[in-house]
Amino acid sequence: MTDPSRQGDEVRMETLAGRTSSGALRRVRHAPFVALIVCVALALGHGSLRAPAHAQTRTLTADALMKQGVQLARKGKYREAVASLERALAKRPKSRDIRYNLALALYNSGDPRRAATEFSRILKDYPDAVEARRGLGLAQLALNRYAAAAKSLAVVAGKAPEDATALGGLGKAYLGLGQPEKALGPLRAASAFRPRVAGLAYEWGRAALGVGLHGEAKVAFGRALQVKPDSVDAACGLAQTQLALGEAAIAVESLRRFAASPTPDPQIFRLLAQGYDVLGLVQEALEARKRLADLLPAKESAALQLELGEMYADKQQWEQALPYFEAAITGDPSNAQAHVSLAKCYHALGSADKELARWRKAMELAPKDMSIGLGLVGALQGGDENQAALAILDRALKHHPNHADALQTAAQIAREMGELRRAEEYLRRVLASDPRSFAARKAVVDVLLERGQPVK
């Protein structure tokens, strides 16, 4: 699913600090936390940006360059800000203020890796610098270094328990680690401090849903939608919660307006299909899955096409199933099960040659799969193909030496070929694996009689 922050809820997690007249770093205002680092600068192109003419003056002091960098950053020109701040740092490499502003500019320009490096350098000399620790944690979060981010942001949250940015980041880090039970507290608190931030409410809902608190999740996702009515992620989270609460009709109704979007999120149709299934609306569920298949990447779409084909096959509607099985193979040619399903479809439609070709391909893709081996043998069995069928069974039995169905099928083919002794060997293996089986013992007796051998 798309991040809610990428649907119009863009807020910068930090703004660049300025300097007071005394030279001290001005307190940084931290904007509300959203699911990931987002800022307008991320949408800029990656080509080089030329600094303004006055920025090219070599005689600018470090303070002037830093001031210039901060001004550029406030205008959203983060890459240019980085260039000015790097020049300032080159003139005064031990300046904590310049390095901090550079780290923030890097962070907002979409370069969390370098930002983390600069924040770490500050902390090496100033280990108690809370704002640098927060910046490091957020940069680590953007790099998906969830354990490190949780460690950094837990320190900040401990020292600043009302810091919504740190709390939100900490909760997001725990969600990234698959620990919604740890994420819930920080995200609940962060959302309480910043109730008008849709991203925070959404992440709170994710955590509540993750621990099965469906009532709380419903409240959280509902708040996210109140703040940002067009948030697809929040709508999907709420629908998922409603389905868990048995409110399928409400979930379906709330999702329909998002399904009409020119570029809908695939999750919308996945949840719609689930809702229609619960409501027993078979045709609507089928249409939702068809739409979903059109939106998914090739391999995922192929899996869904296969599922759709099976739905028709279960109803014996083979003509309708055929194009879905063919589409599944086109999307994922290495899926042996898709070839099996298509083979069965061709069998039902009376296309023996096409059926055999699909079984052969499936066997090529999954040579150790006994069910595929038996399917291929079934397609081959009879007349001149018996020898080939028996060879396939012998190869399969090397991997599954006591497979009763394969042994019995092999015995049957051997008898049809007149190789009664060979048939007896297969049947004795069946009996050895199940000595109390009356059917297995009778089969051995029958072949012995057919051979004219005494029965002991």
Q: For the residues of 399-437, what is the DSSP string, one character each?
A: HSTT-HHHHHHHHHHHHHTT-HHHHHHHHHHHHHH-TT-
Q: For the segment 87-143, what is each residue's pLDDT rounded down to a tens digit?
A: 999 999 999 999 999 999 999 999 999 999 999 999 999 999 999 999 999 999 999
Q: How many CB atoms lie within 10 A of CB 235?
A: 25
Coil, strand or helix at 152 = helix
Q: Which two structure tokens, joined as six digits, stand for 321?
A: 């199933």
Say if residue 220's pLDDT is above 50: yes
Phi, psi of 102, deg, nearest 5 = -65, -45
- Residue 58 banded pLDDT, cuts 50, 70, 90: low
Say if residue 456's pLDDT is above 80: no
CA distances from 183 to 32, 165, 344, 388, 394 (A): 17, 14, 48, 60, 55
Q: Note whether 207 and 40 are within 8 A (CB).
A: no
CA distance 237 to 220: 9
Task: Give me the residues paired with residue 19 across strands.
Answer: 25
Which helix (H) or strand (E) is 324 found in, with range?
helix 318-331
Q: Note whether 168 and 141 are within 8 A (CB).
A: no
Phi, psi of 297, deg, nearest 5 = -60, 165
Say if residue 17's pLDDT is above 70: no
CA distance 200 to 171: 9
Write down the pLDDT at residue 2.
36
pTM equals 0.69
Q: For the segment 286-298, what is each residue's pLDDT rounded down to a tens digit?
A: 999 999 999 999 9
Coil, strand or helix at 69 = helix
Give me the torsion for CA of 349, 353, 359, 365, rounded to 10°.
-130
CA distance 279 to 275: 6
Mean pLDDT of 26-52: 32
Phi, psi of 25, deg, nearest 5 = -70, 125
CA quadruple 195, 200, 202, 208: dihedral sign: negative
Coil, strand or helix at 154 = helix
Place of tokens 């039970």: 181
Segment among 65-74, 182-191, 259-268 with least mean pLDDT: 259-268
Q: Note whether 210 and 175 are within 8 A (CB).
A: yes
Say if residue 38's pLDDT is above 70: no
- Between 37 and 178, the more confident residue is 178
Which helix (H) or strand (E) is 192 found in, with range?
helix 180-193
Q: For the segment 339-348, what is each residue's pLDDT rounded down to a tens digit?
A: 999 999 999 9
Q: How many CB atoms lie within 10 A of CB 150?
A: 26
Task: Give me the residues paired with residue 25 across strands.
Answer: 19
CA distances from 417 to 405, 413, 422, 450 (A): 18, 6, 10, 13
Place of tokens 């910068």: 12
Burial status of residue 69 (CB atoms within 10 A of its CB: 0-12, 13-18, 19 or more): buried
Q: Which two structure tokens, joined as six digits, stand for 289?
A: 């899955």
CA distance 92 to 20: 18
